[in-house]
Structure 1
Amino acid sequence: MITNTDVSKTLVSRLSPVALAVALTVPAISHSAFAQEAEATEEQMYEAITVTATKRPQVIYEVPIAISAFDGDMLAEQGITDLTDVGKFVPNLNVTGFSAGHTSSVNPFIRGIGLQDHLITTDPGVSVYVDGVYLGRQVGQNWSLNNIERIEVLRGPQGTLYGRNSIGGAINIITKEPDQGDVTKVNAEFGTRGRVKTDLFVNHALSDTLAFNMNLAYNTRDGLGEFINVPNAEYDVGETEDISGRISVKYEPSDDFRMVLTADANNGDGGLRPYTVLIDEMPEGRFYAGTNSLGLELRNSDVTPEGYDIYDNATGTPEVTSVSNEARGVSLTTEWDISDDYTAKVVASRRTSKYKAGLDDDGTIYSLDQYPERGEADQTSIEVQLNGYINEYTDFVAGLYYFNEEGSNRQGSDSSFDGGGNTLQLDQETTSKAVYLNLRHDLTDELSVSGGIRYTEDEKDASANVFDALGTIFDSNEWDEVTWELATNYTFENGMTGYATIQNGYQSGQYPARPYCLIGEFFGAGGFDDLDGAVAAVNASNCFVASDNITAVNYEVGVKGRVNEYFDVSVAVFNTEFEDLPYQVSRVSEGGFDTANLVVEQTSRGIELDTTLNVGNFSMLTSIGYMDVEVDEQDGFNPVAPLTPDLTFAIGPSYTFDLEGGDKIRARIDYSYRADMYGEPSSEPARMTEIESRELVNFDVAYTPADEAYTVALYGRNIFDERYDNARLNTGDYILQVLSNDASEFGVRFSTEF
C-alpha cells in the first residue's frame, strides 16, 4: 500500500541537495509571508480555474477525475514554452521526443502510457486536443503555446468523452476566442543559445456581431553541436527555427448563436535532434564485430572522435542532418442555444501535416545504416454535441463523432541498411465513428452521480512494402468497443469535494510499424528456392497482422478543493488495469530495423498530489506523483519495464515585492524532478537502457510598473545545464542514446499590452 509517509521517505532519499534546498526554503518564506500579511484580500486569494474536461464548464474541483490546469498567461513565468515543458510540472506526466530524431516531436506519457513511435500505423496512448479538435499525429504539428487560454491535463483513461487513443489520458489546449475587447499584446524573448522569440497577438471587434483575433509567432534557437563531417550542413545539431500563425473570426449575431472560424499554419526547420550511438557496449553486435557490409569494426570513438562531445554528430550523410515540419488546419465551431436548457454544438476540422527527418544509426562518416524519412497525414473530423438540462437536477452531454485520417511514411533511395538498399513504404487510412452520452444527476445538494457510455467503430486499411521482390502487402481490419464510466462526487461541509470514479479507455488494434519480418517470412526457413511466389506472399502477409484492441479500466478516488482561504489541494489514488497492452521493441533483423509489439497485461497504481498555496504576496505550486507498475510475464518474452519514472516531483514558489509608487517585482523559481526509468520496455540490466534521473531548475524575475504598461523579466531555464536522455533503444547491434535538446538558457523577456 502506498502512503504519504512512503512518498515522503522516497522524496527525501532521492532528491538532490538542490531540490531539498528549494523545498526547505518554502516554510521560511511562507512564515515570513504569514507574518507580513495576516489576511489575504479577495484579489490576492486564488481563484479556482474553470475547465471543460467533461465538455461542459465546471470549476476544476467539481470534475471527478485527476486533472491539472495551467492558465495561459502564466506559462511564460513558469518557463513553459511547449508541451515538453508542461510534462515537467504535472504529476506522473513525462513528455519526451524521439520520432526519427525530429526536434518538434512530442511524445506524452501519462501514468506510463504513451507511444515513442510516430509512424502512420501507430496511434498514441495520450490524445491531444486543440479547441476540441483531435491531433492524430505527434510529428509535424509543433504546436506553439501562444494565444492560449489554458491547458488541461486529464490523467487516466478518458474513453467515454474523448474516445479512442486516450487510455493514458488526454491533453486539452484551449485558445482564446475573439471577443469585443480591443487589445494588442507583444511578447519578445532574447537569450543565450541564440534565442529569439517574438509573438504578436491582436484582438479587435469589427462590429457588434463580428470580432477577430490573430497570433503571429517566430521562434529560433541555436543548436548544441556540429555535424563535423558535413561542413556545409544548413543547420547545427538541435537547431530550431519555427514560424506560426493563427487567425480566428467569431460571428455572434445574437445571444443564442455563435460561430468561430479558425485557420492556423506553421513551418519549422532545423537540425537533427542530438543523439549518439553506443557501440562498444555491444561486443557481439554487427558494428563492433566487423560483420557488416564494410567489414569495419566500429567503436564509440568513431561516433565521438577525440576533441568532440556527444552533442556533435559524425554522420557523413547530408540527407539526415536537417529536419522540417509543416502543418495547416482549419476548423469551424458552431454553437446554438436552442432554449434555456439545450445547446447544440458542431466542431468540424480539416488538418494536414508533413515532416522530414531521419537518423544515421551507425553515427559515423561511413555509409552503413542511414534512414532519411518523410511522412504526411491528412485528417478530417466532425463532432456534433447536444448538452443541457433534463431537469433542475440532471444535465447531460451527448454526441456523434467522425474521424478520417490518410497518411504515409517513406524511406527511399537515400535510405540504406548495412550498405544496401532499404525500403519502407507504409500507407494507412483510418475511419472512426462513435456515439456517446454522459449524464450527471444531483441526488442532494452535496451528492451527485454521473455516468457515461460510448460506442466506437474503427476501420483501418493498411499496406506495407519493405522488399521490392515481395511487393506491397495489403490488409484491412475492423474493431468496435463499448467504453463507459461511473463517478460520484460529494461536497463536504468545508466545501471540499470527494470523488470516486471507475472509467475505462480503448485503443484500436495496430499494424506493425516496421514489418521487416516480411522479408524473413517471404524466404522461409529454406530460403527463396524453397517457396513459390504464391506461398511466399501468403507467409509474408501473416507477418503484417493487426493487434487486438487495447483496453484499460481505472479505479480512482480523490479529494480536491479549498482547505482554507490560503490553501488548495487535489489528491488522487488510482489503480488501472490494462489488457493487450503492446510495448514496442525494435531489433535489427535480416532485412532491417524491425519493430515488434510485446503484448502484456499490466496493473498500474499510484498516488498524485497537486497543491496551491496563496498567502499575501507569496504563492507556491507543488505536484507529486508516485507509481508502482506490475507487468505479467509472457512466455518467450524478456522482462518488460514500463516507460515511466516511478516518482515525479515539482515545486514552484513565487513572491511579489511591492515597491513605492505601486511598482512590483515578482520572483519565481521552479524545480522539476523525474526519477530514473528505462528507455525501452526491457528491464534487463545488461541491456544498458536505463535513463538516469534528472532535475531541472528555472527562475523568472519580473518587473511591472504601477500603470502595468509593460513587464520586463530576467529568466533562466535549466539553469544548472542538466543534460539528460530522452530515450535509449537497444537494437542488438548498438545502443541508440537519444539526448534531450534542453540545455541551459538565460535571457530577458518583455511583454506589453495596449
Structure 2
Amino acid sequence: MTHKPVRQPLVLATAVASALYLPTLPALAQSPGLSLEEVVVTARRRSENLQDVPIAVTAISGLELRLRGASDITELAQSIPSVTLEPSRATNTTLTAFIRGIGQQDPLAGFEQGVALYLDDVYLARPQGALLDIYDVERIEVLRGPQGTLYGRNAVGGAIKYVTRRLSNELEGSVRASYGDYDQVDLVGTVSVPVSDTFRVGATVASFDRDGFGKNLFTGGEQYDKDIFGYRLSAEFEPTENLLIRAAYDNTQDDSSPVAGYRPFPGAVSGQPVLNNVRDTTAGASVLPTTAGINGNNEVQTEGWSLSIDYQLNEQITLRSITSAREDYTESVIDFDGLAVPDFDAPVIYDNEQTSQEFQLLFNSDRWNAVLGYYYLDVEAANDFDVVLGQLAPGGITAYTGGTVKTEAWSAFADVTYNLTPQLSVSVGGRYTEDQRDADIFRGNYLGTGSPFLGNDSAVLLAATSDFEASRTFYDFSPRVNVSYLLNDDMTVYAGYSQGWKAGSFDPRGANFATPEVERGFDAEELDSFELGFKATWLEGRAITNIALFYSEYSDMQIPGSVGADSDGDGVNDTFVGTVTNAAESTISGLEIEGNVLLTENFSMQFSASLLDTSIDEWLVNGVDVSDQRAIQNTPEEMAFIGATYVTPLRDGDLRLMANWSYKGDITQFELPAPVIDQEAYDLINASVVWTSMDESWMLGLHGKNLTDEDVKTAGYCFGDGGCPSRLGLENNTTVFFAPPRTWTATVEYRF
C-alpha cells in the first residue's frame, strides 16, 4: 500500500505527540477544582468507570454527539482509532463496518459482519438498515478486538453498542429541528411519561429529509438525497426495586432515491462523456424496463421489538433475559453502468428475519465479578436479484440469482474476573458455539429483460448455472484471558489474549455447475489477538491518556467478491458470480492512542491516532501464493484526530466553539488494489458553534462539515478499466461512490 510522503510524517508526529484523546465532552467540576467528568460504560456487563475497563473501548455520549451535530454513526470513524464506517455501495442505510482491519464488504445473505452492531443489547444480524441515524441515544460504545465472552453474538473484529436513553420518573421531552443546505430538514421529537410510580412509557419520532448532493441528469431526480422516517416506542415497568422490565419497538422507512456511482470513463458504446460533478449521474435503471420487476422502487423497511428483564436475586446475583425479533425488507435499484442505457442493471430484493434469546447470570462481590450466559439466534436471510445485460444480445440477457441462507446458532459463554489483590485482577473467559448454516440457491441465465422470478414471464431460460441445497454445522471454543494491574489510583496497565471466530457459510451467488466446490461453502475464520494497554488519569484529573498496542494473527479470512463470468465459452462475460475465498493467513498489528486534556476552565483539546501494519501473508489460488498482490480492505494504516473546544459565558448560557481535524491514510476498497476506486490519504475539517442555556433547556447550534469540500471515495463497482479484476457489460463499467461534500446545518433544540 502506498502513501503520500508529505502526509505520513505529520501523522506519525501526531500519533506520538498527541496521546491525549477520549472523545467525550469535558465537564467542569464546580468544586474543589478543575477535572474531567467520569465516563461510565457497561462494556463488561456492569457499570464501570471507562478508565477502569482493561480493554480498548471508546464511549461517546449522546450529548457530545448532539454538540458535534453528528447525523449518523459513520461520523464516529473520524475520531475513533482503527475504525471505518461507511454506507455500503448504492445504499443509504446499509452499513459497511471495519475495526482493526476486520469487517465485511458485501451485504449479502449468509454473510455476517465481522463487526457486531447492537441496539440495546440486541444483535443486528444483517447490515440492511444498520446505518443508524443518531436519535434517542444515551451513548455509543465501540469495543475494539474480539468479543464473545460477555454477551450476545461472537464477533471477530469488535462491537458497536448503540445504547438508548432510560425513561425518566418525571415528565420529560425534547424537540429538535435542523435546517441545512441542500434543503435539509430534520425533525426529532421525544417524550417520556410516568404513568405511575412503577410504569413509564416513551416515544421518539424522527424525520430526516434532504435533497441530493447531486442530480440525476437523465431522470431529473435526486442523487445522494435522504428521505427517512423512523419511530421508537418504549415502556419500563419496575414493580419492585429488584425487578426491571423494558420493552421497545422501532420502525424505520427509508425512501431515499437510488444512488449510482460516478463514471470516471466515457461510455464505450453510448459515448456518454465523463460528467463534471462526481455526485451527478445519468443512471436510468429506475425508469428502464430492466428494473420493472420491482417497479423501479428503492426502499428499505426495518422493524424490531425487544423485551429485557432484569431481576436482582440478591445483592450479588442478577438474572437477565433479552428476547428480540427483527426483520427488514429491501427493494434496491443498482445501476452498475450509471448510464441511461440498459447495459448493466440490477433490481435487488433482500428479505431478512431474525429472532434471538439471551440469558445471563451476573455475579458481583468484593473480589469476584462473573458473567454466565446462553445465546440463541435464528436467522433467515434471502436475496433475489436480476443482473440485466441489456445490450449484450437482442432482447437482453438476464442472470437471475436467488439464494436463501438460514442460520441457527447457540452459544454458552462465561467470563470471570477475580481481584487477587486491590491492585491485581485476572479475567478468564470462554465461549462455545454451534452454528448451523443451510443454503438453497438457484441461478439461471435468461434471454430477455428480467427473469420470471422478478416479473418477466416471457423470459426464456438459456441455462441454469447453479441449483443446490447444502448444509454445514460449525463448532468452536474461543478463550479469553486478561490481567490488569493498578499502578496507583490513576494508572492501570493490562495485557490480554482473546480469540475471535466466525462460522463459515455458503455464497448465495455461487455457480456450482461451473465450480462444484461452492456447494461445500467457505470455511470459518479465526483471529488470535494479543493486546497491551495503559490507561492514565493525570494533571489532578484534568487529563486522561489511553494507549493500546495489539498484534493479531488472522487465519482463513473470509473475503467475498464478485466478478464477471463467461457461461457459454464465447469469450464474452455474460453473467455475474460470487467469489468467496478463505485467505490462508494475514497479520494485523497496531498502536492506538486516545486522550483528552482540560487545559483551562474554558479550553480543552481531544486527540486520537492509530498506526496499523497490515499484510496478507499467504493466499493460495490454484496452488500459487498471490498474497503480494492482495491488501487488507477498508483499513487505512494511519489515522489521526485533533479537536478543540472553547467555552465562554454568553447571555445566561454557555457558548461552545468547537473545531476538529481528522486524517486517514490510503484506503484500498477491496482485496485487489484498483486505483480508480481506491481512496488516497485525505483530511477533513469540521466546526460547530453551539449555545446552551444555563438550565440546559435550549440548545442552538451551527455545524459545518467537510469545510474544505474534499471528494472522498467510499466505495465502488469495478467491472471496467482502472485495475478491475474483470469486465461485465459493454460500457466500460467502473463507478465510484463519494462521501458528502461541504455542508452546513443549523439546529434548535428545546428540552423540558
Change (3 A) 1:61 1:588: same
Determine the structure 2 residue equivalent to 1:650: 641
Determine the structure 2 residue equivalent to 1:365: 340
Taking the aligned partners of 1:207 and 1:276, their CA distance within structure 2 comes to 56
User: Displacement of 1:14 after TM fit?
Assistant: 4.8
Contact 1:185 1:751 in 2 (8 A): yes
Determine the structure 2 residue equivalent to 1:593: 576
Taking the aligned partners of 1:676 and 1:698, their CA distance within structure 2 comes to 20
Larger deviation, residues 357-366 vs 564-573: 357-366
Q: Note the 1:713-752 alignment, pairs <5 A.
A: 713-728=701-716, 729=718, 730-733=724-727, 734=732, 736-752=734-750
| 2:591 is the counterpart of 1:610 | no
Contact 1:270 1:322 in 2 (8 A): no
Determine the structure 2 residue equivalent to 1:224: 213
Taking the aligned partners of 1:340 and 1:417, their CA distance within structure 2 comes to 71
User: Displacement of 1:553 after TM fit?
Assistant: 0.9
Contact 2:283 2:339 in 1 (8 A): yes
Amino acid at match of 2:403: L
Q: Indicate the SS of the match to 2:272.
A: helix
User: Displacement of 1:482 after TM fit?
Assistant: 0.4
- Residue-by-residue CA offset, 1:106-150 (whole Å, 9 max, x unaligned): 111101111111011211110000111000111134422111111
For structure 1, the residue ranges without an aligned partner over 5 or more in a row are 1-6, 28-32, 281-286, 289-295, 522-539
| 2:375 is the counterpart of 1:401 | yes
- Residue-by-residue CA offset, 1:631-676 (whole Å, 9 max, x unaligned): 11333354210111001111211010123x6432110012221111
Determine the structure 1 residue equivalent to 2:409: 432
| 2:425 is the counterpart of 1:451 | no
Which among 94, 97, 101 is matched to residue 84 of structure 2?
A: 94
Q: Indicate the SS of the match to 2:512.
A: helix
- Residue-by-residue CA offset, 1:507-541 (whole Å, 9 max, x unaligned): 000212421x33535xxxxxxxxxxxxxxxxxx4x
Which among 614, 620, 623 is matched to residue 608 of structure 2?
A: 623
- Residue-by-residue CA offset, 1:379-437 (whole Å, 9 max, x unaligned): 00000000013x53112000110000112111149786943012010111101100011
Determine the structure 2 residue equivalent to 1:534: none
Contact 2:430 2:477 in 1 (8 A): yes
Q: Note the 1:702-721 alignment, pairs <5 A.
A: 702-721=690-709
Amino acid at match of 1:119: L
| 2:297 is the counterpart of 1:314 | no
Taking the aligned partners of 1:142 and 1:243, their CA distance within structure 2 comes to 14
- Residue-by-residue CA offset, 1:566-593 (whole Å, 9 max, x unaligned): 1111000000111100223322112422
- Residue-by-residue CA offset, 1:70-125 (whole Å, 9 max, x unaligned): 001110222321111111111010112224x1111211110111111101121111
Q: Indicate the SS of the match to 1:270.
A: coil
| 2:540 is the counterpart of 1:551 | no
- Whose helix fraction is larger, Structure 1's or Structure 2's? 1
User: Displacement of 1:739 after TM fit?
Assistant: 1.7
Taking the aligned partners of 1:689 and 1:455, their CA distance within structure 2 comes to 40
Change (3 A) 1:386 1:118: same
Q: Indicate the SS of the match to 1:559.
A: strand
Determine the structure 1 residue equivalent to 2:450: none
Taking the aligned partners of 2:32 and 2:408, their CA distance within structure 1 comes to 50
User: Displacement of 1:204 after TM fit?
Assistant: 1.7
Change (3 A) 1:635 1:261: closer
Contact 2:316 2:363 in 1 (8 A): yes
Q: Indicate the SS of the match to 1:167.
A: coil
| 2:136 is the counterpart of 1:147 | yes
| 2:308 is the counterpart of 1:333 | yes
Contact 2:708 2:742 in 1 (8 A): yes
| 2:272 is the counterpart of 1:302 | yes
Taking the aligned partners of 1:725 and 1:256, their CA distance within structure 2 comes to 51
- Residue-by-residue CA offset, 1:445-469 (whole Å, 9 max, x unaligned): 0111101011000001111111164
Determine the structure 2 residue equivalent to 1:475: 470
Taking the aligned partners of 1:700 and 1:278, their CA distance within structure 2 comes to 34
| 2:479 is the counterpart of 1:484 | yes
Change (3 A) 1:688 1:311: closer
Determine the structure 2 residue equivalent to 1:276: 262
Determine the structure 2 residue equivalent to 1:577: 553
Contact 2:691 2:701 in 1 (8 A): yes
Taking the aligned partners of 2:105 and 2:579, their CA distance within structure 1 comes to 13
- Residue-by-residue CA offset, 1:608-633 (whole Å, 9 max, x unaligned): 00101123111222110110012113
Amino acid at match of 1:746: W
Q: Indicate the SS of the match to 1:54.
A: coil
TM-score (norm 1): 0.86
Percent of aligned positions with the same letter in both sequences? Answer: 25
Determine the structure 2 residue equivalent to 1:463: 440
Change (3 A) 1:105 1:410: same
Contact 2:312 2:319 in 1 (8 A): yes
Larger deviation, residues 610-619 vs 444-453: 610-619
Determine the structure 2 residue equivalent to 1:187: 176
Q: Indicate the SS of the match to 2:51.
A: helix
Q: Note the 1:488-567 alignment, pairs <5 A.
A: 488-515=483-510, 517-521=511-515, 540=516, 542-564=517-539, 565-567=541-543
Q: Note the 1:116-127 alignment, pairs <5 A.
A: 116-127=105-116
Contact 2:285 2:333 in 1 (8 A): no
Change (3 A) 1:279 1:10: closer
Amino acid at match of 1:709: S
Q: Indicate the SS of the match to 1:271.
A: coil
Contact 2:480 2:499 in 1 (8 A): yes
Taking the aligned partners of 2:281 and 2:324, their CA distance within structure 1 comes to 40
Change (3 A) 1:10 1:554: farther
Amino acid at match of 1:582: Q
Q: Indicate the SS of the match to 2:506.
A: coil
Taking the aligned partners of 1:206 and 1:671, their CA distance within structure 2 comes to 46
Taking the aligned partners of 1:58 and 1:597, their CA distance within structure 2 comes to 41
Change (3 A) 1:397 1:49: same
Amino acid at match of 2:422: D
Larger deviation, residues 723-732 vs 482-491: 723-732
Taking the aligned partners of 2:697 and 2:215, their CA distance within structure 1 comes to 42
Which among 259, 269, 277 is matched to residue 245 of structure 2?
A: 259
TM-score (norm 2): 0.87
Amino acid at match of 1:151: I
Taking the aligned partners of 1:164 and 1:506, their CA distance within structure 2 comes to 10
Report the number of matched residues: 687
Change (3 A) 1:42 1:353: farther
Which among 195, 198, 223 is matched to residue 206 of structure 1?
A: 195
Change (3 A) 1:420 1:576: same
Determine the structure 2 residue equivalent to 1:323: 298
Contact 2:522 2:581 in 1 (8 A): no
User: Displacement of 1:303 after TM fit?
Assistant: 5.8
Determine the structure 2 residue equivalent to 1:528: none
Contact 1:350 1:380 in 2 (8 A): yes
Contact 1:409 1:427 in 2 (8 A): yes
Determine the structure 2 residue equivalent to 1:113: 102
Contact 1:62 1:489 in 2 (8 A): no
Determine the structure 1 residue equivalent to 2:236: 250
Q: Indicate the SS of the match to 2:263.
A: strand
Q: Indicate the SS of the match to 2:67.
A: helix
Taking the aligned partners of 2:333 and 2:525, their CA distance within structure 1 comes to 29
Contact 1:520 1:590 in 2 (8 A): no
Amino acid at match of 2:554: F
Change (3 A) 1:164 1:350: closer
Amino acid at match of 2:400: T
Taking the aligned partners of 2:686 and 2:705, their CA distance within structure 1 comes to 4
